[in-house]
Structure 1
Amino acid sequence: MFLVALGMLLLLGLVLPHGGVSEDVSTRIWAVDWVRWALLACWALIVLEALPALVAWRRDDARSARKRFLLVLLLPPLRVAVSPHAPARWLWLPGLGWQQRDENLFHRLELGLAIPMLGIAFLILPVLVGEFLFHAEIESSPVLAWTLHTLTSVIWLAFALEFMVMISVAPKKLQYAREHWINLLIIVLPLVAFLRSLALFRALRLAKVSKVFQTVRLRVLLTRAYRIALLLNLLERVLARYPRHYLALLKAREERKQAELDDIRARIEALEAQIARQDDDPPTRG
């Protein structure tokens, strides 16, 4: 099932647009019938395999199993890291086997994925150089366009896989999502662009020119936001390899957070003083 979910992620990476000429290639891939059927088949296999979790009423973690079933029903690629059948605290990973979800595993994975994901993040540089210097050649060459799209698909696949595994292991999932919002943005933006492309076809069918222009403008904005998010992620990963620079960055972030916390505390104290004064004032008689 890990391989099925991984295959579905790979197909999604190829179908989703990643900006620039990649959008035209992804549109052609989405038009292929067997690609859509393969995605549907992966989703069906994952859901069917998870169905027994609905009748897991005899298990101690029946409620947790049903929650995990809903997760893989709504987001089938999460099956790479979420199993409705395994005990809630356990996870299977290739090369590691069954592992208990705890802080020890989280830090081991974080350390083990640091160098490979740094290499993946560096792949954005040839993409940007190619788009900037050889834009006309890429647009006129199907081979170059497909190569660029494949490269951006691999980048998206790696980020999506890392995020799904790490957030499933993270002790505090919401905190992990907040701290890695750039990674989440990298995963979500192509999904938004895919929905935008469907909206573009609908606008063309309805012959609403104004909507078409708005959609094209949105395409440019999404592409720029996606590239900026990838560059920011690369910068953050590079800084993480240099402790002194990363320490300075973390201290600056700590100062900002501390200032926000001091402001919140001041507001709390002001509200508490206001409430205390209201409680101490005798009620007026009408």
Structure 2
Amino acid sequence: MKSTTQKSDEILAVPMFLATVAILSFFALTVQEFMTREEHLSVTRLMIFFWLTMAMYPIFWIESLWHFAIDSPRKWRTLFACALPPLRLARRDMEDGSRMWLPILGWRHIDEDLHEEVERDLSVPMIIVAVMILPLLAIDFVWAAQLEQHRWLQVVVETGYSITWLAFTMEFIVMFSIVDKKILYLKAHWVDLLIICLPLIAFLRAFRLTHLVRLQNVTRATRVYRMRGLALRVWRGLLAMDVISRLARMSPEAKIETLRKLIQEKQQEIDGLEGEIADLETQIKPASESNAANKLREGEAA
């Protein structure tokens, strides 16, 4: 019979996944609006998206309170989503953390097979996103003058970047939630992490935007937009790097290199297991010798 925690996990899986996608989308729109060129920036629209993002937070707090109320075994884990709601996207179950719900796949046991399956399933969509973003990068870097003249083209490029950020973020959160060696994953995917985190600079600056408009402090506003522009250029440079990296992974040479690294990792795990076995055998051997000596003495005494 299923526990209350298991039933709650199953009932809340889809609604909370949709809520997480919604708050990520509102956040992406907030950043997109703030990254808009100064002459086209709408403070009203920015504040609408910003407060829509903030309005989603109570949903995650209510879920956390519910798990505390039913005394779920992993209830303290819900506090992570209270602080950073995007982490709720692919959270492990609240019973023992051995399962996870994902769209299409449903509830699955978390193991290396799931990791490989999800990584394989996400590789094609992410490569498509990477290929689609190349024209936007070309427009942004090569036809900057035309971009400034046509507002509709700016909207297309900025929306494309927002969709890309959303896709990269969701993929990163899902994979990060599945893997057990999270530090190693962060080291291997540091570019993805920077792509996700850099827009946070713009988001934090949005807190000050209303003060800038109210005080009409031109100097401070100029400094904010300069910082925003620098963050945007760095972000797009990292995005270009990651696109090239993802496309390079399609080559046979890159796949061979990846497989070799995987063999090295597995060999290290095997070496570690053999070391543990050797330690256990060392502990067992003296005990066996001692038992044999005792039996020999008992035999002689008899």
Question: Normalization by structure 1: what TM-score?
Answer: 0.74
Contact kept? 2:93, 2:100, Cα under 8 Å: no
- The reply on whether 1:65 has 2:81 as its aligned counterpart is no
Deviation at 1:28, TM superposition (A): 5.5
Give the aligned residue type for 2:31.
L
Distance in 2 of aligned mates of 1:17 and 1:38: 14
Q: Is there any run of 5+ residues in structure 1 with no aligned partner, and where?
A: 253-286
What is the match of residue 3 of structure 1? 18
Call closer, same or farther: CA 1:38–1:195 in 2, change over 3 Å. Answer: closer
What is the match of residue 90 of structure 1? 99
Give the aligned residue type for 1:45.
I
3-state SS of 2:91 partner: coil
Contact kept? 2:64, 2:79, Cα under 8 Å: no
Deviation at 1:250, TM superposition (A): 9.5
Distance in 2 of aligned mates of 1:133 and 1:236: 21
Q: Is there any run of 5+ residues in structure 2 with no aligned partner, and where?
A: 1-15, 262-302
**What are the superposed Cα offsets for residues 20-47 of structure 1, whole Å, 9 maximum, x if unpaired?**
6467558553233xx3443233221222
Deviation at 1:222, TM superposition (A): 0.9
Deviation at 1:246, TM superposition (A): 5.7
What is the match of residue 207 of structure 1? 217
Call closer, same or farther: CA 1:17–1:6 in 2, change over 3 Å. Answer: same
Q: Which has the larger radius of gyration?
A: 2
Contact kept? 1:22, 1:149, Cα under 8 Å: no
Contact kept? 2:26, 2:50, Cα under 8 Å: no
3-state SS of 1:88 partner: coil
Question: Normalization by structure 2: what TM-score?
Answer: 0.70
Deviation at 1:96, TM superposition (A): 0.6
What is the match of residue 62 of structure 2? 48
Which stretch shows the higher mean deviation, 196-205 or 93-102? 196-205
Residue identity (%): 32
Which stretch shows the higher mean deviation, 7-16 or 139-148? 139-148
**What are the superposed Cα offsets for residues 56-94 of structure 1, whole Å, 9 maximum, x if unpaired?**
44x5xx2x331x211110011222211664541111111
Distance in 1 of aligned mates of 2:181 and 2:43: 37
Distance in 1 of aligned mates of 2:23 and 2:122: 21
Q: Please report the RMSD computed on the Cα atoms of aligned residues, expressed in angstroms.
A: 3.0
What is the match of residue 192 of structure 2? 183
Contact kept? 2:30, 2:50, Cα under 8 Å: no
**What are the superposed Cα offsets for residues 131-156 of structure 1, whole Å, 9 maximum, x if unpaired?**
23443443343322222221111101
Contact kept? 1:18, 1:153, Cα under 8 Å: no
Task: Give the 5 Å matches for 1:1-286.
Answer: 1-17=16-32, 21=36, 24=40, 29-32=45-48, 35-57=49-71, 59=72, 62=73, 64-66=74-76, 68-82=77-91, 85=94, 87-199=96-208, 202=211, 205=215, 207=217, 209=219, 211-245=220-254, 247=256
Deviation at 1:12, TM superposition (A): 1.1
Deviation at 1:130, TM superposition (A): 1.7
Distance in 1 of aligned mates of 2:37 and 2:258: 34
**What are the superposed Cα offsets for residues 153-179 of structure 1, whole Å, 9 maximum, x if unpaired?**
110110110011110001111211111
